[in-house]
Amino acid sequence: MSIPQSLLEQSIQINIQQALQEDIGDGDITAMLTPADEQATATIISREEMVLAGQPWVNALIQAYDNTVQITWLKQEGDVVAANEAFLKLAGSARSLLTVERPALNFIQTLSAVATKTASYVKQLDGLHTKLLDTRKTLPGLRIAQKYAVAVGGGQNHRLGLFDAFLIKENHIMAAGGIAQAITKAHEIAPGKPVEVEVETWDELNQALEAGADIVMLDNFSQQQMIDAVKHVAGRCKLEASGNITIENLREVATTGVDYISMGVLTKDVRAVDLSMRFNA
């Protein structure tokens, strides 16, 4: 799935307003140590190699705070930035540059971390048709931002939330009275929206297939079981592998022929990229 532009823009505005409010409150008292009329230029570098992501958030945040600040990107979204390489220059009020530094870098360090990790995982799938998906295991408040970063890193988005696709799991199946009943009800509730069912056994796979699921998630299936499932399904629905998948066995799982592999690690276990901003003499 792709993120609708309207939702992306709305999320950016919410994110940057929250970031500015939590950091600045009723004023940046430390920046006031600098003369109000002092102008400055600053360079932002990455201390480690990364895939750059987050430009729309940085642009919107800086413009919202002080639209006179000049923003010059030396790298484009999705570019690889080498260790100790400059990727952004800012020019304008020294006070403004000091104030926006941390909230701006917070977006870049987090979203670039997601894009960088995603790119390293996607690389494992070179030459195979399997696509890498994210999950809903995201940082609170940054769902759309992190899924955007996954796409920048070469991955694909699973459903954005609980509103744009069905993912029927064990508890849903029990509450609905069975797999077939759940799928039928899903088509009645929201015709045209994707219906995915998580299965743990061969029998559940057959039930989901016969009931017309669009996608079946094979939860913790063995390598051989996934190979057999791909042959059995024979393109009648899409197959997604999930559970106990790491970067070490990612390619092995993909060689089974599944259409998708979903991994929460892309967004929930990210380590921020080390960035630095320095005023120019």
pLDDT of residue 281: 66
Residue 196: active-site member: no
Pick the CATH number of 122-266 from 1.10.287.990, 3.40.50.720, 3.20.20.70, 3.10.450.50: 3.20.20.70
The residues facing 199 across adjacent strands are 218
Catalytic residue among 134, 196, 198, 240: 198
Catalytic residue among 169, 185, 193, 238: 169
Catalytic residue among 23, 85, 102, 164: 102
Q: What are 27-69's pLDDT values in tens digits?
A: 999 999 999 999 999 999 999 999 999 999 999 999 999 999 9
Contact 88, 73 (CB under 8 A): yes
Residue with tokens 């017309």: 212
Contact 110, 272 (CB under 8 A): yes
Would the CATH topology of 5-116+272-280 be identical to that of 122-266?
no
Contact 137, 267 (CB under 8 A): yes
DSSP result, the chain: ----HHHHHHHHHHHHHHHHHHHHTT--TTGGGS-TT-EEEEEEEESS-EE---HHHHHHHHHHH-TTSEEEESS-TT-EE-TTEEEEEEEEEHHHHHHHHHHHHHHHHHHHHHHHHHHHHHHTTTTS--EEE--S---TT-HHHHHHHHHHTT-B---SSSSSSEEE-HHHHHHHTSHHHHHHHHHHHSTTS-EEEEESSHHHHHHHHHTT-SEEEEET--HHHHHHHHHHHTTSSEEEEESS--TTTHHHHHTTT-SEEE-THHHHS-----EEEEE--
Rounded to 5 degrees, φ, ψ at 67 are -75, 5
Q: Residue ranges of the domains in the chain?
A: 5-116+272-280, 122-266
pLDDT of residue 2: 86
Q: Superfamily assignment of 5-116+272-280 in CATH?
A: Quinolinate phosphoribosyl transferase, N-terminal domain (3.90.1170.20)
Distance CA 112, CA 108 (A): 6
Catalytic residue among 89, 136, 137, 185: 137
Catalytic residue among 9, 77, 214, 219: 219
Residue 198: active-site member: yes
10-residue block means of pLDDT along the chain (281 residues)?
A: 93 98 96 96 98 98 98 98 98 98 98 98 97 97 98 97 95 95 96 96 96 96 96 97 95 98 96 96 66
Residue 137: active-site member: yes
Distance CA 274, CA 260 (A): 31
Distance CA 25, CA 3 (A): 31
pLDDT of residue 1: 72
202, 203, 206, 207: CA torsion to nearest 10: -140
Q: What are 158-181's pLDDT values in tens digits?
A: 999 999 999 999 999 999 999 999
What pTM was estimated for this model as a whole?
0.95
